Amino acid sequence: MSRLSGPERGEQNLAKVRSYLAGLQVAGQSLPLEDGRPNISAVAEAAGVLRNVFYTNSGVKKLLAEFVGGPAPVADGSAALSRAQQQVETKGRRILQLEQQLANVKAENEDLRKRLAAAEQELARCAFIEEYIVKAGKRVIP
C-alpha cells in the first residue's frame, strides 16, 4: 500500500466526487439536500471521501457548485474580501467597546485615588490629634 502525496490524494478525491455526481445524473437522482443546500455529510459518505474535502479541495468545491447549478466559488477572492471586511468591522466595534470600558475604568480609578488621598489625609489628621491628646495627658481610656 503506497502513500499518496497531498495533490495526488486531492485528485483522487476529486475523481471520486466526480464519479458520484455523474452516477446521480445518469440515474436521474438529485443531490441529497438539507435546508435547500447540499448535505455535505451524505454526499461525502456516498462518494467515499471525508467531509473536510468539500471545504478544503477547491476542485471539489467548484464541481459541487457547478452540479448544484449555483455560482462557482469566485477565484478573485471577493467572497474572502467581503468576509475579511466583516471581520475588520466586527473587530473595530469590539475595539471601540473596549476603549469605552477602559475610559470608564480610568475615570473610576481616578475617583478612587482621590478618595484614598482624602482618607489618608483624614487618617493623618486623626493621628495628629490623638498624638496631641496623649502628649497633653488628657486621654481618657474607656
Q: How many distinct structural domains can be found in the chain?
A: 2
The pair phi, psi for residue 34, each rounded to 5°, is -140, 115
Percent of the chain with pLDDT over 70: 88
- 90 with 30, same domain: the answer is no
Residue type, 22: A
- 28 with 87, same domain: the answer is no
Q: Report residue 84's pLDDT band, with 50, 70 and 90 as the boundaries.
A: confident
Q: Which residues pair with 33 in a beta bridge?
A: 38
Max Cα separation, the chain? 112
Whole-model pTM over 0.85: no
Domain with 20, as residue range(s), is 6-68
Q: What number of CA atoms fall less than 13 Å from residue 61's CA on the CB side?
A: 11
Q: Report residue 65's pLDDT band, with 50, 70 and 90 as the boundaries.
A: confident
